[in-house]
Amino acid sequence: MKTLNGQADCRIPLNRDVIVSRAIAIADTEGVGAITIRRLAQELNVTAMAPYRHFLDKEDLLNGIAEKLLANVNLPETAPRTWDQDLALVFDQLVAALRQHPSVAELVLTRVLLTVSGLTLAERVFQLLTDAGFEIERVGQIGGYALNSLVALVTTRPGTVANPNPEIRDAILRKKRASLTSLSPREYPNIVAAADTLVSCTDDDAYYALGVKLVIEGIKGVRSDLSDQTDSIL
Amino acid sequence: MKTLNGQADCRIPLNRDVIVSRAIAIADTEGVGAITIRRLAQELNVTAMAPYRHFLDKEDLLNGIAEKLLANVNLPETAPRTWDQDLALVFDQLVAALRQHPSVAELVLTRVLLTVSGLTLAERVFQLLTDAGFEIERVGQIGGYALNSLVALVTTRPGTVANPNPEIRDAILRKKRASLTSLSPREYPNIVAAADTLVSCTDDDAYYALGVKLVIEGIKGVRSDLSDQTDSIL
DNA sequence: ACCTGAACACCGTTCAAGT
DNA sequence: ACCTGAACACCGTTCAAGT
């Protein structure tokens, strides 16, 4: 049996997971923009059309990536906790899963309801919000807000750049920091002062803990309004 | 004088704003993916390379779009209000600006600090957070969180689809709704119940008001922790 | 100064074959 | 069933000219 380049066949059999894993590996080192069907085919030693046996189109491939990311969310056991504690645990797990491959986390933003693991996650979040006393329209909106905010938290974490190649990455960050520190301290005192923390993250765990807390506290704040006044403006 | 197609010259002189406006118009009717340099050149009756006289590359064009969107944010006058009221007003204005062209709102997510109007907006937000008593590292992180969450709020509003063409749009939404309502009500009771509100937004104003409130309440919640206990985990 | 024209190295995706 | 090969209609961007 011969392959494209006439050498011994060292291909692993093609399937969705092999292709998706390879796509994630590409994004991890070169950014999500480096994922192309042709590139994938080349790295897997097949022709450009071979992946289409396993995916409808590129959109389907991107859905597959989102699915694989969300499959890594370990939903905690249901236990006798308060709804906000449970919610925080679920959000922690989502963040933990997205942090593993921040370069593809953005793909999740519009695909939670398109994947089975995303549906499972959303259902759990919605259930906890229902438990908290929100009506179903608010449940959808608040649940969506929470998931979106957490995804955005990961994709826009200070220090994140489109191209994760170490050298290019550092050069981009140095340049970005320079452009912020070179701003007028009279016009932009706070931005100049925050330049360092806007360009890199000293403590990832603290950053994500703060993000989850912001989401949880936001929901608690909206809820207390709900119980305080029956004729809420919401 | 002859043009590309040999007809009378009906071209308006090319400049950044003309090109950016056209790009936004394209995105408004066909989605952000329909913005290409070649398409833009064709609609403006010039060759593919003409836009490069005004933009370094496509990334520069996308920055220009973000800049134009953020330029529409009318920062309120500083007045003797509380920091959270002021912050809510700023956030309302940001949302109002992004809502005008939701299809390009996503471009703002990573570009706030790359545009002058974005820097002005961020500086104002940071100042209000400093007023609220946050230390500078938290100011950057919370400010970033707030801006990101509001952008995500607009880009993922229920009823938003990549292609805003009315007929295609409705077809996509019907299909999406069908796929949600066809889920097992035993496995996904909350998602099935929320299907309608996940697929379209009955009241945009209420949706965005809730979103701004979630952000503000989140910040207030994090802040009260700060004053309650000096040895906060944050 | 501003735009053109041709070319290069890519894309996603179709169709018809091959084995 | 699974993959190949050629082709189509696109991309962003380069370089060297034109006026």
Domain coverage including residue B186: 166-197
Whether A34 and A75 map to the same domain: the answer is no
| Residue B33 falls inside a structural domain | yes
Whether A89 and A150 map to the same domain: the answer is yes
Whether the Cβ atoms of residue B76 and residue B86 lie closer than 8 Å to each other: yes
Interface-testing mutation among B75, B191, B223, with chain A (most A C-beta atoms within 10 A): B191
Q: For chain A, what is the HEC assignment?
A: CCCCCCCCCCCCCCCHHHHHHHHHHHHHHHCHHHCCHHHHHHHCCCCCCHHHHCCCCHHHHHHHHHHHHHHCCCCCCCCCCCHHHHHHHHHHHHHHHHHCCHHHHHHHCCCHHHCHHHHHHHHHHHHHHHHCCCCHHHHHHHHHHHHHHHHHHHHCCCCCCCCCCHHHHHHHHHHHHHHHHCCCCCCCHHHHHHHHHHHCCCCHHHHHHHHHHHHHHHHHHHHHHHHHCCCCCC
Give B13's DSSP letter: P
| Residue A33 falls inside a structural domain | yes
**Contact residues, chain B, for A221 at CB < 8 Å:** 213-214, 216-218, 220-221
Whether residue B230 has pLDDT greater than 60: no
CA distance B137 to A201: 9
Q: Which residue is nearest to nucleotide C14 (CA to C1')?
A: A49
Lowest mean pLDDT among A41-50, A153-162, B23-32, B165-174: B165-174
Whether residue B118 has pLDDT greater than 80: yes
| Residue B220 falls inside a structural domain | yes
Whether B128 and B76 map to the same domain: the answer is yes
- Distance, angstroms, CA B44 to C1' C4? 15
Closest CA to B138 of B146, B129, B147: B129
Whether residue A8 has pLDDT greater than 50: no
> Is A198–B222 a contact, with Cβ atoms under 8 angstroms apart?
no
Instruction: State how many domains chain B has.
Output: 3
Cβ neighbours for B85, distance < 8 A, ≥ 6 positions apart: none
| Residue A9 falls inside a structural domain | no
> Is A197–B127 a contact, with Cβ atoms under 8 angstroms apart?
no
Whether A178 and A150 map to the same domain: the answer is no
CA distance A159 to A177: 10
Whether the Cβ atoms of residue B146 and residue B91 lie closer than 8 Å to each other: yes
| Residue B1 falls inside a structural domain | no
Whether B106 and B78 map to the same domain: the answer is yes
| Residue A11 falls inside a structural domain | no
| Residue B63 falls inside a structural domain | no
Read off the pLDDT of each residue in B116-133 and give the average, rounded to a whole number. Answer: 97
Whether residue B151 has pLDDT greater than 90: yes
The alpha-carbon gap from A98 to the nearest alpha carbon of chain B, in Å, equals: 16
- Whether pTM exceeds 0.85: yes
Whether A137 and A213 map to the same domain: the answer is yes
pLDDT at B79: 82
* Nearest nucleotide (CA of A41 to C1'): D3
Q: Which residue ranges have CB below 7 A from strand C?
A: A 35-39, 48-49, 52, 57-59; B 3-4, 13-14, 41, 46-50, 53-54
Closest CA to A112 of A132, A131, A90: A90
User: Is the model more confident about B47 or about B9?
Assistant: B47
User: Is the model more confident about B229 or about B169?
Assistant: B169
Whether the Cβ atoms of residue A22 and residue A40 lie closer than 8 Å to each other: yes
Residue-averaged pLDDT of chain B: 91
- B137, B145, B214 ranked by CB distance to A197: nearest: B137
Give B77's DSSP letter: P
Whether residue A53 has pLDDT greater than 80: yes
Nearest CA in chain A to B113: A180
> Is A210–B138 a contact, with Cβ atoms under 8 angstroms apart?
yes
**pLDDT band at residue A47 using 50, 70 and 90 as cut-offs:** very high
Q: Which residue is nearest to nucleotide C5 (CA to C1')?
A: B47
| Residue B219 falls inside a structural domain | yes
Whether residue A229 has pLDDT greater than 60: no
Whether A47 and A112 map to the same domain: the answer is no
Whether B148 and B81 map to the same domain: the answer is yes
Closest CA to B42 of B23, B64, B67: B23
User: Is the model more confident about B92 or about B227?
Assistant: B92
The CATH number assigned to the domain holding A46 equals 1.10.10.60
Lowest mean pLDDT among A14-18, B7-11, B142-146, B187-191: B7-11
Whether residue B226 has pLDDT greater than 90: no
pLDDT digits (tens, 9 = 90+) for A134-171: 999 999 999 999 999 999 999 999 999 877 677 888 88
Q: CA geometry: angle at B179 spanning B189 and A215, to 5°?
A: 55
Amino acid in the structure at residue B123: E
Whether B146 and B95 map to the same domain: the answer is yes
pLDDT digits (tens, 9 = 90+) for B40-72: 999 999 999 999 999 999 999 999 999 999 999
pLDDT at A230: 43
The CATH number assigned to the domain holding B211 equals 1.10.357
Whether B91 and B174 map to the same domain: the answer is no
User: Is the model more confident about A167 or about A189?
Assistant: A189
Integer CA distances (angstroms), B63 to A7, A31, B69, in order:
46, 19, 10
Whether B187 and B205 map to the same domain: the answer is no
Burial letters for B45-65: b for 16+ Cβ neighbours within 10 Å, e otherwise?
Answer: bbeeebbeebbeeeeebbbbb
**pLDDT band at residue B10 using 50, 70 and 90 as cut-offs:** low
Whether B92 and B147 map to the same domain: the answer is yes
**pLDDT band at residue B162 using 50, 70 and 90 as cut-offs:** confident
Interface-testing mutation among A84, A179, A210, A213, with chain B (most B C-beta atoms within 10 A): A210
